Structure 1
Amino acid sequence: MKKIILMCSLFLSTTTFALDCDIPPHYIFIATKNTYPSSVFWLSGQSDSPVKNIQLKSAKDSNLLKIIPKNLLEPHILLQSDHPLKIGQSYAIKTPASSDIQIYARDFQTKIQNNPPKHLLKWVAMPHFLQTKFVRDTAFGAYGSVSFKLKTNWETNDYLINVKISKNANFSQYQTFLENPFTDQSGTTKIQVGFDLCSNANDFVFQPNQTFYAKFDLVTHDGKVLIWHQAPIKFTTR
């Protein structure tokens, strides 16, 4: 890829999006906020060109990220380093200048930590629908997002959540969002998902009075996936 695209997120102003929607990236680079020697990384998106030669580099280490051919979160792409990342080193993502693939890495830079969680990741409180944010009139059409509160037994910086949302209870068609959970000022763990203004949202703009179904897979920093086996959570946007 020629460069890391610094594309704006869903919740920035439409003025900023006017500058960026003509060059949307092929992929978004996703990682837990805490990273450890065994941590893995993800790409979300699609391109007809192959993904290759993505590296994590620090002052004393260069680490090639290899694609794991099959994973439980496809179509997301799983990337694993070719050797353990070094504790205490600060890594940044590097991509070859000759590549046609564009990746938005959210200014990714991470310092590798010691002592990852040793107990099994599990649910403490299942996700509960909170609210919809919907904007009808922008220069790029309508867009929206939905948020949920939840709780696990891990710190939010150590795991991701793969949210699948469908308009049908049988999930014959669905959209998938791989996201970082976060803790708000009140101490509540939340996750917020939605399309940015540059994406083709199709029927998933989350406008009011629509009914959806959601599933939530938990994903550890090292790529282990706790698949959602419960019935889908039904919610109606408002």
Structure 2
Amino acid sequence: MHYKIWAFFCTEENYPYWQEQIQQSQEVNRITWEKISDFLRAIEPHNPLSHQLLQAHNLEQFIQIARDNGYQLTQEELAWFVVTQKQIWDFLYLAQETPSLKQQLLTTRNPDEFINIAVAKGYYFSQKELAWLLIDIKSSSSLVGINNSTGDTFIFPKIDGIEMWYWLELAEKWGLVPPFSNLSQPGNGLFGDEKDPFFLKQCFLPRGYFNQRQLIHSL
């Protein structure tokens, strides 16, 4: 499904137009980002709505089908989301393939320096947009693995060949992405031997693992 959405905005003939439109428009807010994120998560491959959307012959029809099913999206909102994400992913991929650029970015002291380097390379996105994308990744249980015995081991796979751990760790250092923090373990002795790491009390998820998106309200 996502490939069809990207085809509306990211083909060779469509991308320059939408890129220019996004740069000229006002910044769209977090609520819009979350609305589109929720929409994309909802249209799983076996969802009946996905089948309807796949039959859309053009962007206007796609938007109308979404609206008929309760998703109030506009072309401009969807374009902003898709084009912005492409800008970020393309820049991170460039960094992955360019060791000198990657090292330069990893030594940036704040997100302003990072964004300025991106702009100098021709990639346009804001601190907030970068934060929203990284938080979406970090709060996804399908992308971030956790060691069940302690909750302290995090596994960030490569996404399209991009090693995400570097960028998530950097964003945490800046304060742009909230860190994991452990839940307090109960001390009432109800869960068996405290020295046994496999008892239930030892198997917890970091605080906010499934609801970290709530932490971006201050962004």
Q: TM-score, normalised by structure 2?
A: 0.28
Q: TM-score, normalised by structure 1?
A: 0.26
Return the structure number with greater relative CO, CA threshold 8 A, min gap 6: 1
User: If each structure's strand is expressed as a fraction of its own residues, which one has the higher value?
Assistant: 1
